[in-house]
Amino acid sequence: MTDALELDALWEDFHRVVNMTSQELAAWLRVRDADENAEPLPEEAGTPTGQHVLAILQKRRTDLTDDDIRVMYRVVDTVTAQTEPENEPDAEDTRRRHRLMTIGHDPLKP
């Protein structure tokens, strides 16, 4: 398990890079998976990682599991790598933006 200081830093980093609220992320996951005929059930919408991020957003820090911590590290690393200045998506880079939104980061959100 991660020590308290490391967990505090991870918690801060995770909530800095995940700039969508749980409501915004849940809505995005449903919209992303919807097709013209049906919308998925909320608990079935999105990727497993997106669902896990959503679950973490709804938890208190003291309730995190080792699995949650692994996902948080992966999300922080992914978003950090994808949003470095040379990789910063613009409005035209819709696919990359949508991939990042699936894990809770909207690069166009202030």
With b for 16 or more beta-carbon neighbours within 10 A and e for fewer, the 55-83 pattern comes to ebbeeeeeebeeebbebbeebbebbeebe
pLDDT tens, position by position, for the chain (110 residues)? 568 899 999 999 999 999 999 999 999 988 775 555 655 555 655 688 999 999 999 999 999 999 999 999 999 999 999 877 665 555 558 888 889 999 999 988 87
Q: Is the pTM of this model over 0.85?
A: no
